[in-house]
Amino acid sequence: MFKLKCIIIEDEPLAVKVLADYIAQVPFLQLAASFKDALLATEWLRSNEPDVIFLDIHLPKLKGMAFLKTLSKQPAVIITTAYHQYAVEGFELDVTDYLLKPFGFERFLAAVNKVAMPNKARTGGAGTDETKAYLFLTVQKKKVKVLFSEILYIESQREYVKVVTEKGEHLCRMSSHEIEAVLPNGIFKRVHRSFIISVPKVLAYTAESIDLNGISIPVGRAYREVVENL
Predicted confidence (pLDDT) per residue in 12-37, tens digit? 999 999 999 999 998 889 999 999 99
Read off the pLDDT band of 125 (50, 70, 90): very low
Read off the pLDDT band of 124 (50, 70, 90): very low
- The residue type found at 71 is L
Average pLDDT, the chain: 86
Nearest to 219 by CA among 153, 164, 135, 172: 153
Q: Give the pLDDT score at 17.
A: 96
Q: What is the mean pLDDT of residues 111-118?
A: 77
Residue 1 has pLDDT above 60, yes or no: no
Helix residue ranges, H only, the chain: 13-25, 38-45, 64-70, 87-92, 105-122, 176-180, 224-228
Q: Give the pLDDT score at 176.
A: 84
Domains belonging to the chain, first-starting first, are 4-122 (3.40.50.2300), 129-228 (2.40.50.1020)
**What percent of the chain has a predicted confidence (pLDDT) above 70?**
92
Higher pLDDT, 151 or 224: 151
In sequence order, what are the beta bridge partners of 197?
153, 189
The residues, any chain, with a CB within 8 Å of residue 82's CB and separated by 6 or more, are: 100, 101
Q: Pairing relation of β-strands 160-165 and 151-157?
A: antiparallel
**pLDDT per position as a tens digit, 144-196:** 899 988 999 999 987 899 999 998 999 998 888 888 878 877 788 899 989 99
The sign one gets for the Cα dihedral 119, 124, 126, 127 is positive
Residue 131 has pLDDT above 70, yes or no: no
Read off the pLDDT band of 2 (50, 70, 90): low
Least confident interval from 52-61, 115-124, 174-183? 115-124
Residues 8, 34: contact at Cβ < 8 Å?
Answer: yes
Q: Give the pLDDT score at 155.
A: 95
Q: Give the pLDDT score at 31.
A: 96
Read off the pLDDT band of 117 (50, 70, 90): low
